[in-house]
Amino acid sequence: PSREDEGGNKLWHIQARNAARGYQTAATKKHHHEKLLELENSYVPS
């Protein structure tokens, strides 16, 4: 592979890793949000 391809691959790997990290963060935030809602709902007197 040419040096240009190597650079492109490296960029692709960085982008893929960042995307995965961003997805993980979003999923974690969503999970925490759902847990908070559960807690709030459990405090509401029925």
Q: Where do the domains of the chain lie?
A: 1-46
Q: What is the 3-state secondary structure (H, E, C) of 7-44?
A: HHHHHHHHHHHHHHHHHHHHHHHHHHHHHHHHHHHHHC
| Mean local confidence (pLDDT), 19-41 | 92
% of the chain exceeding 90 in pLDDT: 50
pTM (2 d.p.):
0.51
Write the CB contacts of 9 (distance below 8 Å, at least 6 apart in sequence). 1
For residue 36, the one-letter residue type is L
Q: CA dist 19 to 28, 33, 45, Å?
A: 14, 21, 41
